[in-house]
Structure 1
Amino acid sequence: MDTDVTLSYSFIAQRCADSKYSIEELERILFNEVLPALRFNMFDLPAPEWAGFPIDWVVMRVLSKHRFGKRKPWILRSYTQIHWHEVRQLIQETRQRNAEK
């Protein structure tokens, strides 16, 4: 958790740009699936998980914690929104560059 998340922006943006999802769909996935399922890790004591989670566990967690049809979670929403704003721009720029090739 002491890693600067901005160092991962390019990696995240590239993976998102390569996906079949629109920017709007990616945003809904972030706020309605990823954030509700994994926000607990920001508060996990004594130390949060750094190495990642098994994919089967993530799928089950998302299915049980998703917020589709409900308000966005308020915990960490503004923190996540700040990062999403930057990553969103990088996704759009990456897709534009890819389209010009």
Structure 2
Amino acid sequence: MMSQINLNKRKPVWVALSDLFLDTDVTRYYENIVRVCVESDYSPEEIRLILFDEVAPAVSKNLLSVAGEWSGFDKGWLIEEIIRGIRRKKPFFGFLNKWTKTIGIKHYLKEHWSVLEPRIVALRDGA
């Protein structure tokens, strides 16, 4: 799968979407997330999959931390963590990915995505 991903195209989307996992009011990052997603040529469905399948497994554990990251993830670390998760299916990563898709994080992400997706679509449509 890694050979099919254009990293230069993917990295800004990963970084922007990772802001949803900071230990702060993430709604203040919506504008930037929408802008980066609109500037990418990924469809809303592709962006949703990137969020749920690539970004969430790498950083969702931050939401469970008592003193989680609140100012932004180190970009180098973030990108390497996502790439590592894509390249190899570690047992823990696989568990975390499954957990991300089935429990509280899924609801958390759906809530944010239900706001972000229409904004992305509207900007792309020129509304």
TM over 0.5: yes
Larger helix fraction of residues: 2
Off by >3 Å, runs of 4+ in structure 1: none
Percent identity, aligned pairs only, is: 32
Matching residue's letter, 1:73: K
TM-score (norm 1): 0.79
Give the 5 Å matches for 1:89-100.
89-97=118-126
Q: Which has the higher contact order (CA 8 A, sep 6+)?
A: 1
Distance 1:77 1:24 in 2: 15
Unmatched tracts of structure 2, length 5 or more: 1-22, 90-96
Matched positions, count = 94
Over the residues paired in the alignment, what is the CA RMSD in angstroms? Answer: 2.1
User: What secondary structure sits across from 1:73 in the alignment?
Assistant: helix
- Greater shift in the superposed pair: 78-87 or 6-15: 6-15
Structure 1: stretches of 5+ with no match in the other structure: none
Q: 1:2 to 1:56 in 2, by over 3 A?
A: closer
CA distance in 2: counterparts of 1:2 and 1:60, whole angstroms: 23
Corresponding residue of 1:64:
84
TM-score, normalization by structure 2: 0.64
